[in-house]
Amino acid sequence: MMRLATVLACVFMVTGCAAHRGELDYPDREAVYDRPLAEMWPEVRGFFTRNELSFREDKGSMVLETEWRQEFGGSRISGFFHRYMVVGRRETPTSSKLQIFRITKSVNKTLSPPGNQIDWGVNRNMGGPNQEDKGQSVEDFEDRLAFPRGENGFFAESGQGQRDMVMEWRVFREVAPLLANAENAPQPVRVAKAPDAKEAPSQFAVECGLPIIGLGKQAKPGAVLLLGELHGTQEVPRFVAQASCQATVAGIPVTVGLELPLENQGRVDAFLESQGGEEDWLKLMEAPFWRSPYPDGRGSAAMANMLEHLRQLRAQGLDVDVFVFDHPKANGQQREDAMAGTVAFQVESSPRRFHMVLSGNIHARTKQGLPWDKKHRPMGLLLKQRLDSVVSLDMAYDTGTTWICSVDSKGVRDRLDCGVREAKGKDNGERYFVHTWDSTNAEGYHGVFYVGAVNASAPAIRLGEQGPGKEGSKSPFAREEGKLASSH
């Protein structure tokens, strides 16, 4: 009994309160190992080996770096690649910790700071043909920039690195009991396996992007998260795909609801089960919705890319599903009632899944009334009254652009005008996060989901003939001055 008590005490001392943390919870403190760095490091190396995360190591320095892996399972249109840099730190003579940096690179320089482009010159030596150090190549320079500067991160060209404390705790939860020689070491998290999948990947086989802060408090079986968006951005569909990926890898089956016409359900189902080839894209894009003369942002290229991300997740065995719920032939309150009925049916039919429902921000409100209709009962309010666990979030973002349809503010046009508009927001950093308040605001939102600076996403039909990533025109869309984004 004394020996058992000693082992259990040792396990608690090493793991602390780690057992109380969910897989998606963002840590508020560092994980500290009750072992010297030299004893801890071999188990850390074993962790990355067991989980098939290939790495190279700087011998003797307690630093390793994993190989580049593409986000969302090798999707041809994501353009983002990730690797981990793992640094062992001496805390005290008898304790240690890990600092893990997730390094992200984008092939399209999306992450590059403005004005950071460098003219490499004809011979690709830095500074051009007149540079004194002819032996300094671009590759040498990029290697130096692959390391984070400072405690938490760096920016360099199209790459960025940030501290990933979620990953640090994942390593800790597996390694700490091994250091304590505990017999009942925790098993790896079982990801949410799709019903028709032969097997599910390990939680480290899929890259899901930098952890979304605050997602863990909302992503639970049976929960419904309403996301009220401003249509037509690149960032919101990416947020949904990233959140879906992270939740399923954490073992939570996810169903995504999209404000697309109900008649598109069959095409969406077929695409998710397809190989994502050219014929599969043609069948998806044949629907009139994608070819609307008034593309309001819901049929954007980013939305099509999101469907591709979710298809990739399903192809790897992850339990992600999609349903559509718009009733475009209905108007006003009738449309809100119909949409709420469709969403509620989906939730009640699968009560153990986490449902993320994306719609225009007016539909997601949970309080009655609009400035032009005090009796209006939004879809969010109807769902809140019918379902047990509903949280509604408004979109928060930094200033940028969006693609929307709006009425001309000067009244010159007598019909909707669709295109790129300025969207004025507030800078709250670059990390995606979810934040809830103590009570709902005047519109009935429980909080916000933040997506950083927004960029307009053009209609998918511009690349629907061949699928995302193979668009024919590379011409950027010019911002239309004097027109502001509005709620949808």
In this predicted structure, what is the pLDDT of residue 404?
A: 85
Contact criterion met (CB below 8 Å) for 197 and 317: yes
Residues in the chain: 488
pLDDT at 454 exceeding the cut of 90: yes
Q: What pLDDT does residue 13 have?
A: 42
Report domain extents, the chain.
2-179, 215-462
- Please state the φ and ψ torsions of residue 326, each to the nearest 5 degrees: -80, 145
Report which of 73, 152, 20 is spatially closest to residue 310, judged by C-alpha positions: 73
| 216-232 exposure pattern, b = at least 16 Cβ within 10 A, e = fewer | bbbbebebbbbbbbbbb
Task: Tell whether the model's pLDDT for residue 363 goes beyond 60.
Answer: yes
Can you say whether the dihedral through the CA atoms of 412, 299, 400, 435 is positive or negative? positive
Lowest mean pLDDT among 10-14, 79-83, 131-135, 472-476: 472-476
Reduce the DSSP state of residue 326 to 3 states and report it.
Answer: strand
Task: Give the pLDDT confidence of 31-53 residue by residue, as tens digits.
Answer: 999 999 999 999 999 999 998 89
Tell whether the model's pLDDT for residue 430 goes beyond 50. yes
Q: For the whole model, what pTM was predicted?
A: 0.76
* Residue 76 CB contacts under 8 Å (≥ 6 apart), including other chains: 308, 468, 469
Please state, in angstroms and rounded to a whole number, the distance separating the CA atoms of residues 114 and 116: 6
Tokens for 168?
């640090």
